[in-house]
């Protein structure tokens, strides 16, 4: 399990201020990118390698 104690979580700039259905991303960690539900910050987080995260974002950008 990844140590997320130093994670700096951020939401999309397109996220509304009322919380909504958002995810938060922590990409400041050395070997992982973590993603969690903004409505449940104490809940579980998914972790990805930086390369896998970049590939995921690239696929999203292609489909936009």
For the segment 29-57, what is each residue's pLDDT rounded down to a tens digit? 999 999 999 989 999 999 999 999 999 99
Domain range holding 24? 1-64
> 7's torsion region: left (phi>0), alpha (psi -120 to 50) or beta?
beta
Distance CA 29, CA 4 (A): 8
- Residue scoring higher pLDDT (18 or 7): 7
How many residues are given for the chain?
64
Number of domains in the chain: 1
Determine the pLDDT at residue 20: 67
Instruction: Give 17's pLDDT tier (boundaries 50, 70, 90).
Output: low
């Amino acid at each position: 399990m990844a140590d997320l104690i130093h994670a700096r979580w951020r939401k999309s700039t397109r996220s509304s201020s009322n919380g909504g259905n958002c995810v938060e991303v922590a990409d400041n960690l050395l070997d992982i990118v973590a993603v969690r539900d903004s409505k449940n910050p104490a809940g579980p987080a998914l972790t990805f390698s930086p390369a896998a995260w970049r590939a995921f974002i690239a696929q999203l950008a292609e489909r936009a």
